[in-house]
Amino acid sequence: MILVVDHDPEVLEKAREILNHHRHVLGALSAEQAVSMVHRLAFSVVLVDLELPGDAFALIRDLHDMNPNLPIIAVASFSSKVKAVAAVAARSPGVVEVLPKPVSRQWKLAVERVRSSG
C-alpha cells in the first residue's frame, strides 16, 4: 500500500491516477491523519508534501520513529525557498528521495524504484 500525504484533495486525486497501477493508494489530508493510518495499516512507501500545514519534518520524524524501515518520499513545488527545504529533507532520516510537484509520471517511477529496492 502507498500513502500520499497532502493537504490538497486535488493532489491526492492526481496521485491516485498516476499511481493507479498500484491497487492500494490511500490519501491523508493532514499529519495527524497520516500518523493514524500508519499506526493501523502497513505501507510500502509514504509520499509527504513538504509544504503540509504544520511541520512536515515532524511528520517525517514521527513516521521514521514509528517504522525506521518505511521509505519516505518528500514532494514539493520547487520555488527557490522550497529548494532549500528540499535539500534539508533529502538528509532527513527515512527520506529516500525528493520529488517535484506537480504530480507527474516521475512519482510513479520513484515509487516503483523504492518498492523494488525494499
Question: pLDDT tens across 57-89, in order?
Answer: 899 999 999 999 999 998 887 664 566 666 676
For 14-23, 62-71, 103-112, which range has the lowest pLDDT when averaged over its residues? Answer: 14-23
Find where cell 512536515 sits.
56
More confident of the two residues 89 and 27: 27
CB neighbour list of residue 93: distance below 8 Å, 6 or more residues apart: 60, 61, 64, 68
Domains of the chain: which residue ranges? Answer: 2-117
Residues 56 and 15: beta-carbon distance below 8 Å: no
CA distance 61 to 51: 15
pLDDT (0 to 100) of residue 73: 92
CB neighbour list of residue 92: distance below 8 Å, 6 or more residues apart: 57, 60, 61, 64, 72, 74
**Confidence at 90, pLDDT banded by 50, 70, 90:** low
CA distance 16 to 99: 16
Task: Return mean pLDDT, the chain.
Answer: 87
CA distance 1 to 30: 18
CATH code of 2-117, in short, is 3.40.50.2300
